[in-house]
Structure 1
Amino acid sequence: MLATAALQQLSRDLATSVDAMGLRSGEFGKPELVTKAAREAERIFQGFAKAKPSREDAYSAARSLLRGDELDAWQRDLVASAVAEPIREEQGAMALGASGFSALLSLYEAEARQGDLWRLTWHGLLFSYFNYDSSLAKDEKTRLGWEALRAFLERTWPLIDRLAGKDLVPDWVNILRKESNVLTVKPVENYSSAYLRGETEPTDRLGADLGIPPSSWFWHALVVGAVKRAAAASDAEFRRLIPQLLRLIQDKPGFRDEALEVILIRYHACQGAPPDERLRNYVCQPTVWKNPKLKFAGIATAWNRVPDPVWNMVLSWVNEGNLKAFFDILAARNNSDEGRLAFWSKYLKQISWTRLVFGSDTMALKRTNSEIRELIAGEEGAYAQLTSKPEVDAFMMQIGSYLVIEFSKKPNACYVYQADQLPFEPYDRHYDGGTTDLAAGYRPEIGCALRIVHRDGWDDRAETELRLLGIRPDQPNAQGAISSGTAATLATGTRGKRASTTFSQSTPRRDGPDMAVLRALIARFQGASIDDRRSTTNGGRLWINDPLQRRQLRSELVALGFKWAERRQAWYYPEQ
Structure 2
Amino acid sequence: MSGALSSLAAAISVGLQRHCEQSPDSGLAGFTSLRRANADLAQRFDQVEKALPPPLEKRREALRKFKQEQSLTSLEWRLVFAGLADDDKKTLPVLNDDQLFSRVHREVIGRIERQALSRRDWLALCFSYFGYDGDKPDDNRNWCTLREDIDRGFKSIREGASREKEWMRIVEQHRELFGAQAGTRLAEQIFEGRIRDLSALQAIAQISESSWLWRRIFTVLLSRIFHLGDEAFLKRLPEMVQLGQLNTLYVNEVLSACLTRYYDSRYREQSSSLLKQLALDHWGSPQMRSKQNAWLKYVKQPVCAMVVAWFAKEDLEHFFNLLKGEAEVDQARLFYWLRFANQMSYTRIVMGLDALHDRSSDFVEFRTKNKGRLSQLTGGPSHNNAVVMQIGNYFFVEFSGTGNACYIYRADTAPFNPDKGVLHLTTELKQQHAALNRLPHTPRPSRPNLVDGWLLKFDAELRSLGIVPQLPGSHSVSPKPTATTSLKTQLAEQLQHVKYREFDNRSKGGAYKVQLAQDDARARAALLRLGFKPMKGEPLTFWRN
Structure 1 length-normalised TM: 0.66
Larger deviation: 457-466 or 400-409? 457-466
Secondary structure, aligned partner of 1:427? coil
Q: Indicate how the Cα distance of structure 1 residues 118 and 204 shifts in structure 2: closer, same or farther if over 3 A, else same.
A: closer
In 1, Cα distance between equivalents of 2:377 and 2:242:
38
Contact 1:65 1:98 in 2 (8 A): no
Secondary structure, aligned partner of 1:293? coil
1:431 paired residue number: 423
* Aligned partner letter, 2:360: N
Contact 1:68 1:98 in 2 (8 A): no
In 2, Cα distance between equivalents of 1:262 and 1:69:
50
Contact 1:289 1:300 in 2 (8 A): no
Which residue of the other structure, out of 286, 289, 300, is the alignment partner of 2:283? 289
Are 2:348 and 1:347 aligned?
Answer: no
In 1, Cα distance between equivalents of 2:264 and 2:92:
40
Which residue of the other structure, out of 158, 176, 181, is the alignment partner of 2:155? 158
In 1, Cα distance between equivalents of 2:290 and 2:385:
23
* Aligned partner letter, 2:436: C
1:120 paired residue number: 120
Q: Indicate how the Cα distance of structure 1 residues 29 and 464 shifts in structure 2: closer, same or farther if over 3 A, else same.
A: closer
Contact 1:227 1:259 in 2 (8 A): yes
1:448 paired residue number: 436
1:254 paired residue number: 249
Please state how far the C-alpha of 1:73 moved relative to its aligned partner: 4.0
1:108 paired residue number: 108
Which residue of the other structure, out of 179, 184, 187, is the alignment partner of 1:189? 184
Contact 1:356 1:394 in 2 (8 A): yes
Q: Indicate how the Cα distance of structure 1 residues 333 and 225 shifts in structure 2: closer, same or farther if over 3 A, else same.
A: farther
2:387 paired residue number: 395
Please state how far the C-alpha of 1:319 moved relative to its aligned partner: 1.9
2:166 paired residue number: 171
Structure 2 length-normalised TM: 0.70
In 2, Cα distance between equivalents of 1:341 and 1:463:
14
In 1, Cα distance between equivalents of 2:325 and 2:188:
46
Please state how far the C-alpha of 1:344 moved relative to its aligned partner: 1.0
Secondary structure, aligned partner of 1:331? coil
Are 2:464 and 1:463 aligned?
Answer: no
* Aligned partner letter, 2:440: I
Secondary structure, aligned partner of 2:348? strand
1:407 paired residue number: 399
Tell me how large the CA RMSD over aligned residues is: 3.6
Contact 1:61 1:71 in 2 (8 A): no
Q: Indicate how the Cα distance of structure 1 residues 47 and 466 shifts in structure 2: closer, same or farther if over 3 A, else same.
A: closer
Please state how far the C-alpha of 1:256 moved relative to its aligned partner: 0.7
In 2, Cα distance between equivalents of 1:387 and 1:67:
73
Please state how far the C-alpha of 1:161 moved relative to its aligned partner: 2.8
Contact 2:53 2:206 in 1 (8 A): no
Please state how far the C-alpha of 1:334 moved relative to its aligned partner: 4.0
In 2, Cα distance between equivalents of 1:145 and 1:279:
45
- Identical-residue share of aligned pairs (%): 24
Report the number of matched residues: 439
Please state how far the C-alpha of 1:455 moved relative to its aligned partner: 5.4
Secondary structure, aligned partner of 1:292? coil
Query: Superposition pairs for residues 362-381 of structure 1, below 5 Å?
Result: 362-365=355-358, 368-381=359-372
In 1, Cα distance between equivalents of 2:139 and 2:28:
58
Contact 1:291 1:379 in 2 (8 A): no
Please state how far the C-alpha of 1:330 moved relative to its aligned partner: 1.3
Contact 2:129 2:143 in 1 (8 A): yes
Please state how far the C-alpha of 1:478 moved relative to its aligned partner: 4.3
In 1, Cα distance between equivalents of 2:356 and 2:159:
68
In 2, Cα distance between equivalents of 1:220 and 1:152:
23
Please state how far the C-alpha of 1:240 moved relative to its aligned partner: 2.8
Q: Deviations over 1:97-152 (max 9, x none)?
A: 4562343134312431343333321132224434x274xx6997997765543343
Contact 1:66 1:95 in 2 (8 A): no
Please state how far the C-alpha of 1:261 moved relative to its aligned partner: 2.6
Please state how far the C-alpha of 1:281 moved relative to its aligned partner: 2.7
Please state how far the C-alpha of 1:309 moved relative to its aligned partner: 1.9
Contact 1:384 1:430 in 2 (8 A): yes
| Structure 2 unaligned regions, length at least 5 | 1-26, 446-453, 477-545
Contact 2:385 2:400 in 1 (8 A): yes
Q: Deviations over 1:159-181 (max 9, x none)?
A: 333233xx324322222233312
Q: Indicate how the Cα distance of structure 1 residues 35 and 61 shifts in structure 2: closer, same or farther if over 3 A, else same.
A: farther
Secondary structure, aligned partner of 1:339? helix
Contact 1:161 1:177 in 2 (8 A): no
In 1, Cα distance between equivalents of 2:222 and 2:69:
43
* Aligned partner letter, 1:79: V
Q: Indicate how the Cα distance of structure 1 residues 262 and 144 shifts in structure 2: closer, same or farther if over 3 A, else same.
A: farther
* Aligned partner letter, 2:414: L
Secondary structure, aligned partner of 1:195? helix
Secondary structure, aligned partner of 2:439? strand
In 2, Cα distance between equivalents of 1:62 and 1:262:
43
Q: Deviations over 1:343-381 (max 9, x none)?
A: 11122232222122222222222xx33433343344333
1:474 paired residue number: 470
* Aligned partner letter, 1:392: N
In 1, Cα distance between equivalents of 2:419 and 2:259:
27
Q: Indicate how the Cα distance of structure 1 residues 301 and 344 shifts in structure 2: closer, same or farther if over 3 A, else same.
A: same
Contact 1:223 1:252 in 2 (8 A): no
Are 2:224 and 1:229 aligned?
Answer: yes
Which residue of the other structure, out of 319, 339, 355, is the alignment partner of 1:326? 319
Larger-Rg structure:
1
Secondary structure, aligned partner of 2:323? helix
Which residue of the other structure, out of 310, 315, 331, is the alignment partner of 2:308? 315
Contact 1:224 1:258 in 2 (8 A): no
| Structure 1 unaligned regions, length at least 5 | 1-26, 481-576
Q: Deviations over 1:219-256 (max 9, x none)?
A: 45434432221222333333332211112223532211
Secondary structure, aligned partner of 2:428? coil
In 1, Cα distance between equivalents of 2:66 and 2:400:
68
1:3 paired residue number: none
